[in-house]
């Protein structure tokens, strides 16, 4: 009987915690691959595939969860591009934020592929796009439900290390890409699909056809390796983070945040109890 895997073994990405100020960093490896793959388009699969081919580290949204200070820089970049607030990011800024990575996938990077293409013109661009209706249905069952959960609202106030930074970044990201939020699912679907299509069209306008690959995960290694100039690995093409795995991972992620929130707020709770006890003694002595 196979041994049951622990949470850390199944979802190691949620057990990494860093406190690195990327503003003090610089590029240490060349940027080689830019993946325009919105959330729920197989971004973890693409990360695993690119790292198997030697293009690691490959930046993914969960890097923000591991090093929350990066959320502040993404907020700056989003405000500058989509809301004309502040200075637009230059190659120097991207080298600070992404200088440790040879590739990017997922959001927030997928919102900046034209800017990253300008900063790294020699990097190859891979476009991974799902049919719009299927894509939104997947987002609705996973990411949208998670970002609207009451747990996340409570943790925004309790977990100042991560959630207090992550929640505003994700809110700004979704507003920037998909417009103002609507409680009507049909209207939300229209907004999200419009933003989704616009992001891909922007990339196709900017990146020359010979420098980009239209790729589907079902195609496997062959077209991706041919485009990047790599040999086809012997191991199967990866498959990661289906809806079931997403929800299992989120449970682990939330549990970790609650534990951290309890530790962060324990001194304040203890102080509050001490004040309450002192007041009780004073009143009833």
pLDDT range class, residue 20, cuts 50, 70, 90: very high
In the predicted structure, residue 208 carries a pLDDT above the cut 70: yes
Q: Which of 8, 4, 24, 26 lies closest to 16 in space, CA to CA?
A: 8
pLDDT in tens, 86-132: 999 999 999 999 999 999 999 999 999 999 999 999 999 999 999 99
Q: What is the DSSP string of 168-183?
A: HHHHHHHHHHH-S--S
pLDDT confidence of residue 183: 77
Query: Is the CB of residue 58 less than 8 Å from the CB of residue 47?
Result: yes
pLDDT range class, residue 277, cuts 50, 70, 90: very low
Average pLDDT rounded to a whole number, residues 184-207 = 96
What are the start-end ranges of the E strands in the chain?
A: 33-36, 58-59, 103-104, 124-128, 212-215
DSSP at 219 = G
């Amino acid at each position: 009987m196979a041994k049951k895997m622990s949470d850390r073994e199944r979802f190691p990405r949620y057990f990494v915690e860093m406190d690195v100020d990327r503003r003090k960093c610089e590029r240490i490896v060349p940027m080689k691959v830019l993946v325009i793959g919105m959330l729920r388009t197989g971004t973890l699969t693409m990360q695993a595939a690119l790292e198997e081919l030697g293009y690691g580290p490959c930046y993914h949204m969960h890097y923000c969860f591991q090093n929350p200070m990066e959320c502040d820089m993404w907020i700056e970049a989003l405000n500058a591009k989509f809301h004309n607030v502040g200075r637009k990011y230059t190659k120097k800024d991207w080298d600070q934020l992404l200088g440790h990575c040879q590739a990017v996938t997922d959001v927030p990077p997928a919102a900046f592929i034209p800017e990253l293409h300008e900063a790294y013109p020699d990097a190859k661009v891979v476009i991974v796009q799902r049919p719009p209706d299927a894509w939104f249905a997947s987002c609705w069952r996973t990411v949208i439900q998670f970002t609207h959960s009451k747990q996340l609202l409570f943790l925004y106030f309790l977990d100042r290390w991560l959630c207090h930074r992550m929640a505003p970044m994700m809110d700004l990201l979704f507003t920037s890409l998909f417009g103002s939020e609507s409680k009507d699912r049909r209207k939300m679907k229209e907004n999200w699909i419009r933003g989704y299509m616009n992001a891909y069209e922007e990339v196709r306008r900017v990146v020359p056809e010979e420098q980009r690959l239209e790729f589907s995960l079902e195609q496997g290694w062959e077209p991706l390796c041919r485009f990047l100039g790599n040999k086809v690995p012997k191991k199967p093409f990866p498959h990661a983070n289906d809806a079931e795995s997403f929800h299992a991972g989120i449970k682990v992620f939330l549990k970790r945040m609650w534990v951290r929130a309890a530790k962060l707020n324990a001194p304040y709770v203890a102080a509050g109890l001490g004040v309450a006890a002192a007041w009780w003694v004073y009143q009833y002595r």
